[in-house]
Amino acid sequence: MIDPSNYRFGLPIAASTYAGRVDATLNLIHVAMFVIFGLWGLFFIFALIKFRKGANPTANYEASKGGLASFLPDVAVLLFEVWLIFVVGLPIWANIKEVFPKDTESNVVELVAEQFAWNFQYAGPDGVMGPRQPKLMNANNGLGLDRSAATAKDDIWVLNELHVPVGKPTIIYMTSKDVIHSFFVPEFRVKQDVVPGMRIPLWFEPTRPGHYEIGCAQLCGLGHYRMRGEVVAESPEEFQKWLDEREAETRAQYQ
């Protein structure tokens, strides 16, 4: 069950390896905006007092003569924003979106989103994801797994529940069978659009055991409110136990 204490005032708890860097960047932006807002507010008050009508009964229509110094605040803000984007923001973005761990060193999961559910596929003991066919998709086979294929007989299908080991990267290859959805786990600081016809990778490494809500951050139809799932982050031993149990159930059903 999802722990309500994860969602207190401010951001939810940080539960992935890069969540702390994302939070630090957000905090830096908020502090900078607060400082800039305060300085501009003080300048505005100063201007209201200094150039009030009582102190300046005759209007002055001449252009400002402040020279280059009058542009320094704007230049300082511009340089800060450039530094924030290229020095702080881009490395974090690249770490999340471009620099992926190896599949062989990760927990690999396939995701097929639909109105209004998340279908997760885990490879069986053979370590190979079985083929999927859209024509086979139905209420009892949300992934469209072709169970006649040898590599699909041991694959695990899980609905709306993603199990991941703590301390090990998880890579999700995601697609959608109908409309655009958006996979969102606030505690991991991950959000990724899931687009029909595309196979989009996403990775994260959990650092805290727990139950975390999966939300759809893209309005996807009348049942959008039902587009909820759950991440179960657990120790490697607990994860392996769960995986073994699901593999046994799958073998009993399809082999």
Q: Is beta strand 181-185 parallel, antiparallel or unpaired with respect to 190-194? A: antiparallel
Task: Give every residue of the chain whose pLDDT is below 50, as ranges.
Answer: none
Residue 50: per-residue pLDDT: 83
Residue 3: per-residue pLDDT: 66
Residue 237: per-residue pLDDT: 96
Residue 196 CA to residue 203 CA, distance in Å, equals 19
Sign of CA dihedral 84, 88, 191, 98: positive
Residue 171 CA to residue 232 CA, distance in Å, equals 15
Residue 15: per-residue pLDDT: 94
8 Å CB contact between 160 and 230:
yes
pLDDT digits (tens, 9 = 90+) for 102-114: 999 999 999 999 9
Residue 85 CA to residue 79 CA, distance in Å, equals 10
Structure tokens at 14: 């940080």
pLDDT digits (tens, 9 = 90+) for 68-78: 667 788 888 89
| Nearest alpha-carbon partner for 111 in 195, 188, 167 | 195
Give 109's strand partners.
Answer: 122, 172
Structure tokens at 221: 């139809």
3-state secondary structure of 11: coil
